[in-house]
A = this chain, B = another copy of it.
Amino acid sequence: MRAPVRVGLLGCGNVGSALARLVDEHADLITARAGVGIEITRVAVRDLSKARDVKVPSDRFTDDAASLVRDPDIDVVVETMGGVDPARALITDALRAGKPVITANKELIARHGPELFTTAAEAGVDLLFEASVAGGIPLMRPLRESLAGDRIHRVMGIVNGTTNFILTRMSEDRMSFVDALAEAQRLGYAEPDPTADVEGADAASKAAIIATIAFGARVAVDGVYREGIAGITEDDIDSAASLGYAVKLLAVAEELDGGISVRVHPAMIPVHHPLASVRDAFNAVFIEGEAVGELMLYGRGAGGGPTATALSGDLIDAVKNLVSGAKGATIGELVDRPMLEIAETESQFYLLMEVADQPGVLAAIASEFGEHGVSIKSMEQRGMPQSSDPEGGVRVSRSASERAKGSDDDARLVFVTHRARESALSATLDSLRSVDSVHRVGSVLRVLGDED
């Protein structure tokens, strides 16, 4: 029996301490599966005075992360500190020293993945990052290995638990966005500053990583288009539900016309689509492959236990390679592929309009759609929301000019289009706004997973 593999842990917060506990509590099982014991030999933390709920002796803690990484008594490095710096330099040092690295750091992989993959490949060691996207859900391994023989066309993911929790509460409990956010904060699902979640930046990092792995392409995270959920109203959710859709914040990575589109935005999904039933803080990633068809991977996208499980799976893998002397699994050469602008992407669209309730209006509207080559799939007339109703009624707010144009006798029309190019839809909207009998174009939402 050889001596245990010695792990240096960078960071011992929620995720790092969960990993230390897992390595302790599942020692028998991990030893059996890795073929050798695994020991948390050193832990680098910022604040040595802070109490940690782990069974690692205190003399193994250090506040000198750089020395931990260079320590010849450390065989493998696990990084759970988060953020780009100093994680980037520490991981680079570890890889150059021939040490496999396991990381949960989505921001770092999204921003500097390609550079780190190259460093790992040159050193011939593993750089594994299953935990960086969708927590405990096996996703990187299925994309890289299980689906290695197939061509992936599109990945759509609910990869941010905070926003999915908020949208679930809005949908199931008829809460407003503001109230649902407050509830999420109260329960610890949302940060005191929820911007990164609500505005889609967190999901954009994950979308960039997914696209990189699914398409083997270099993806600039700053080029990922994103829209958040702060503008979603109860009215949108009700209207979606009455048409048989759920509203979800999606990270989308898609191949289209030889280019790739990577984006984050809310979308309406048919209630029968597997993504529609992903509730609360759960995550799920829906994959469409040429041969495999539709796949979905579902689970907890955050939290100590799930994330630590993903880290431990990668750790066991790296340790097996280390012990057997196998060369680490490297990401192949990444290619540069055209990144599509949002205007070049395609989807179905949902539109809500307030129009004059008079003959000929629908014909005028339909002709604007037709002129821009956008085909209408369905149209429905709705009652106007009652501003006087103090209970459930939702008053769509209007600008002064819209109020000037509108009247209480307006009709509300709800359209769902067939698949159309986003630029064509934008042009249609511009034209519609100049039609006299169209008093207001309200919500516009993309519709995915339906006919497309």
Contacts and interface: CB of A to CB of B under 8 A. Distances in A.
B305 A293 contact: yes
A149 B289 contact: no
A242 interface: no
B300 A30 contact: no
B274 A292 contact: no
Interface string A292-324: 111111111001011011111101110001001
A3 interface: no
A146 interface: yes
A189 to B, nearest CB: 15
A151 interface: yes
A136 B272 CA distance: 21
A32 interface: yes
Contacts of A48: none
Contact of A26 (B29, B149, B333): B149
Interface stretch (A137-145, A248-256, A353-361, A376-384): A137-145
A114 to B, nearest CB: 16
B151 A29 contact: yes
B295 A299 contact: yes
A298 B300 contact: no
Q: Which of A30, A293, A315, A327 has the most CB of B within 10 A?
A: A293
A148 interface: yes
A422 interface: no
Interface in A130-165: 130, 136-138, 141-142, 145-151
A218 to B, nearest CB: 15
Contact of A33 (B284, B289, B292, B332): B332
Given A137-B295, A300-B294, A313 B130 contact: no
Given A279-B272, A326-B326, A148 B293 contact: no
Contacts of A305: 290-293
B299 A293 contact: yes
A414 interface: no
A305 B130 CA distance: 26
Nearest to A35: B332
Contacts of A67: none
Interface in A26-42: 26, 29-30, 32-34
A316 B141 CA distance: 13
Nearest first, the 7 A-B pairs at minimum CB distance are: A149-B312, A138-B146, A291-B305, A295-B299, A292-B309, A326-B326, A296-B298
Given A26-B291, A33-B148, A292-B309, 11 more contacts: A30-B149, A130-B146, A138-B138, A138-B146, A146-B309, A148-B316, A272-B277, A289-B309, A292-B310, A294-B300, A295-B299
Interface of A: 18, 22-23, 26, 29-30, 32-34, 130, 136-138, 141-142, 145-151, 216, 272, 274, 277-279, 282, 284, 289-300, 303, 305-306, 308-313, 315-317, 321, 324, 326-327, 332-333
11 contacts: A32-B333, A34-B148, A136-B295, A137-B295, A138-B295, A138-B297, A145-B317, A149-B308, A150-B312, A150-B313, A291-B312
